[in-house]
């Protein structure tokens, strides 16, 4: 069975995640913040590991699903 993107709420503590994400950007310039986001996407993509799921995520992020 091929994995699929989870689109229903799945974060253990979404408010805590959001706070941690904002804190991770503290003190970064706009350029550094963009670079951090790019690295974070690559780290999480590696964790997901499935190109099919990542393609679903691309579509969801673009608002086309």
Contact by Cβ (8 Å): 5, 53: yes
Model confidence pLDDT, tens digit, residues 39-56:
999 999 999 999 999 999
Residue reference for tokens 């997901």: 48
Model confidence pLDDT, tens digit, residues 10-42:
999 999 999 999 999 999 999 999 999 999 999
SS3 39: helix
pTM here is: 0.86
Nearest by Cα to 43 from 54, 27, 58: 54
- Domain map of the chain by residue range? 30-65
- DSSP code at position 13: S
């Amino acid at each position: 069975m091929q994995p699929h993107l989870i689109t229903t709420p799945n974060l253990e503590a979404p408010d805590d995640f959001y706070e941690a994400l904002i804190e991770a950007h503290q003190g970064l310039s706009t350029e550094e913040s963009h670079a951090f986001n790019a690295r974070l996407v690559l780290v999480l993509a590696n964790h997901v590991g499935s190109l099919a799921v990542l393609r679903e995520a691309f579509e969801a992020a673009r608002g086309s699903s």
